[in-house]
Structure 1
Amino acid sequence: MNIIFSEERMPGQAVVDKMIIAGALCVEEEGINPENVVVSVTFVDEEEIHSLNKQYRGVDKVTDVLSFPQFNDLNDLPEDGEICLGDVVICPEQALLQADDFGHTPERELIYLFVHSVFHLLGYDHMDEEEKVEMRAKEELIMSKIGVER
C-alpha cells in the first residue's frame, strides 16, 4: 500500500510503520490488493481541522480525523491499476487529548484513527447501531492483528 504522508506534524517512524501495515490489512480485509492502493494522510492543527470540519461536514468544532473518500461504492473501483482510495486528515493534538481521556497511548490513538478513517474510505460508516457494530469489529480486528489492542 502506498501511503503518502504529509511531513508536517508527522508522528514517529514506529507509528508510520504500523499505519502502513494496518492500512494494507484494512484493504485486504475487503479483498483489495494493497499493492494497488494509494491513500494520502495529512496531519493538521486544531484550527485547520476545525475549518475543514465546518466546511465539509457543516460541524463547527474540532474533530480528530476526517475522511475524504474517492469512491461512493467499492463496486466503482478500477479493476486494474492504481486505486486512489482518498484522503485522511488527522489532528494529532486532538488524538493526544483523546488518548489521555481513553487511557490509550498516543501512538495507539493515532493508529486507530487512521484505521477508522481507512474503513470510511472503504465505504463503512457508523450512523446507525448495526453499521457501528460492524465497523468497530473490523477496526478491532485490524488493531489486534498489528498488536495494538485496547
Structure 2
Amino acid sequence: MSLSVVWNNEQEEHEINSELIELLERILQKAGEAEGIEKGEVDLTFVDNERIHELNLEYRGIDRPTDVLSFAMNETGEDEPEIIYAVAEDEGEELEEVPYVLGDIIISVTRAQEQALEYGHSLERELGFLFVHGFLHLLGYDHQDPESEAEMMSKQENVLAQVGLTR
C-alpha cells in the first residue's frame, strides 16, 4: 500500500513531532485498508484558530473557527474541473509518476487542544480523530443525517481502536 501524508505546520502552539506524524501515517494506512484505498497522497496542514476561521469563512461561508476542513481533489461536482493524472513519455528519460492526491486536510491544533480537554482524552487522540474524520470526507463520506453520522463515527472509532487511541 502506498498511501502517504505530506504535512505542513503553520501554527506555533504545539510542536508537531515525528511520533505524531508516524501515528497519523498509521491511521492513514488503517483507514485506507478499511476503505479499499491502496494508493494516494493526503496533504495535511496544522493551523491555529485564526487561520482555520479565515478558511472556514472563505470556503464555507461560516464565520467562526472549526476543528477540521477537508478539500477533496476527486470531487466531480458541476463546477469542478476534471483532473487528469498522466505521465508524459520522453525518449530515454525516466520520469517520476505524478502522485494521486486525494485532497487536503486542515486541522486547527488550537481547537483540537480545546476538544481534547473537553472530552477528557489526549491531544494525540483528538488529532487522530480529526485526521481520520477529514480522510473520510475526502472519500465522500458526510454526516448530514443521523444514519450517515453513525456510519462515519463507527468507521472513525474502528480505525482509532486499531492504533490504540480509544477513549
TM over 0.5: yes
Please name the residue that 1:59 is paired with: 62
Equivalence map 1:96-111=2 (5 Å): 96-111=113-128
Larger helix proportion, structure 1 or 2?
A: 1
Runs of 4+ in 1 over 6 A off after TM superposition: none
Which structure has the greater CA radius of gyration?
A: 2
Root mean square deviation, CA, Å: 1.8
From the superposition, tell whether residues 21 and 65 of structure 1 become closer, same or farther in structure 2 (CA, over 3 Å): same
Q: Which runs of 5+ in 1 are unaligned?
A: none
TM superposition shift of 1:30: 1.4
The separation in 1 between residues aligned to 2:102 and 2:161, in whole angstroms, is 23
Query: 2:156 is aligned with what amino acid?
Result: E
The percent of aligned pairs where both chains have the same amino acid is 40
The separation in 1 between residues aligned to 2:33 and 2:100, in whole angstroms, is 13
Q: Normalising by structure 1, what TM-score? A: 0.89
The answer to whether residue 109 in structure 2 is matched with residue 92 in structure 1 is yes
TM superposition shift of 1:32: 1.6
The separation in 2 between residues aligned to 1:139 and 1:31, in whole angstroms, is 15
3-state DSSP of counterpart to 1:107 = helix
The answer to whether residue 75 in structure 2 is matched with residue 72 in structure 1 is yes
Equivalence map 1:1-150=2 (5 Å): 1-9=3-11, 11-33=16-38, 36-72=39-75, 82-150=99-167
Query: 1:47 is aligned with what amino acid?
Result: E
Q: Normalising by structure 2, what TM-score? A: 0.80
3-state DSSP of counterpart to 1:3 = strand
Q: Which runs of 5+ in 2 are unaligned?
A: 77-82, 86-96
TM superposition shift of 1:2: 1.6
Query: 2:47 is aligned with what amino acid?
Result: V
The separation in 2 between residues aligned to 1:132 and 1:77, in whole angstroms, is 32
The separation in 2 between residues aligned to 1:103 and 1:55, in whole angstroms, is 31
CA offsets 1:96-120 (integer angstroms, 9 cap, x no match): 0110001011111111110110011
3-state DSSP of counterpart to 2:140 = coil
